[in-house]
Structure 1
Amino acid sequence: MSGPHGSAFSGRLGWGARPALLVIDLVRAYTEAGGPFELPGPGPAIEATRALLEAARTAGHPVVWTSVAYTRGLADGGLFVRKVPELRAFEEGGEGGWGKIGPLKPEPGEAVVTKQYASAFFGTSLASTLHTSGVDTLVTTGVSTSGCVRVSAMDALNHGFRPQVVRQACADRTEAVHESNLVDLDAKHADVVDLDEALAHLAR
């Protein structure tokens, strides 16, 4: 992924010794028809995430999920809910249950981090949870590529984890937005990897 400075952006983070799987915001608002953030054709990303979940669980790697929730009245939403008014769909007591995780579900013992902002790390216990488990590599999936996936991968790097963003396990509102953000992530903030590579590493 060379930029205007030749190989300035050609580095690779690689895989460490202890991976965890992070499933970002696979909630009904994104995955179901009629949802406020409905994505076109999220099925392939969901199925890729399903395969990664099976591999991580079989090998005993930690799995962490995120969801979004705001208190009634959105007092904990700050300026983010002003910038993206449809986030009110995640308000406590709101109709539709759009913040519920689905169609994939956490298993008992898998942590669910509730967040109010795009990053899975900002204002949450995620970094402490991963560090305590000895995690050094974060296999990242979910939605959307340009939003919560991108920012979470950047913050993973900032917190000392090796973010591995699985191309086929993420989705966005258009393919062009999805691909352009993967290119930029791979250049500067994460390793973008294919599903087969991620499955092979999780199986080790």
Structure 2
Amino acid sequence: MSERAIRVLLADDEHLIRGALAALLSLEDDLLVVAEAATGPEARAMARAHEPDVAVLDLQMPGADGVAVATSLRGEVPGCRSMIVTSHGRPGHLKRALAAGVRGFVPKTVSAQRLAEIIRTVHAGNRYVDPELAADAISAGESPLTVREAEVLECAEAGAPVMEIAARASLSPGTVRNYLSSATAKLGAENRHAAARLARERGWL
């Protein structure tokens, strides 16, 4: 083990994947896995406790997703650089991640050896985005939805009724209906559920 090993936090709710990655990365002389986590809150707690150099975060975790964790770590562990590993590389996720200051965005299909190289790249202060994911994000274009429209559409996607969305978003039911109808019209969908599905497919939610 080199004296200046890069300290790594691995966060993934799939134990088998996380364990295999930890074992493979530990074979690299300059990498040291100092902590593992299975949920978003656990990843934040482990990062605060161990102060890793690089946090490798699964995009979809219970409690808080990888982008939310990365956003928190910017303030809580400023010396830690974050990267996202995902099997759901939708354009909207990439844009959210980059806006949150994430330095790496890679698919789960990447080899452990390649992941080790990307960890070194991110640790050195550089950014790495998988080329295919980047191309998808560019081709999807900018979302026509406002932040509020996307927010209420995401609630509607989960099947929440208007009253519940209104309570959750601190809006009146009439305002929620306006946002939903506006979003549905912008996307040319027949109803809000179809609009939510369309926005999700294009990576805008």
* TM class by smaller structure: 0.3 to 0.5
- Structure with more helix by fraction: 2
Q: Which structure exhibits the higher relative contact order, with contacts defined as CA atoms closer than 8 Å and separated by 6 or more residues?
A: 1
TM-score (structure 1 length as normaliser): 0.40
Q: TM-score, normalised by structure 2?
A: 0.40
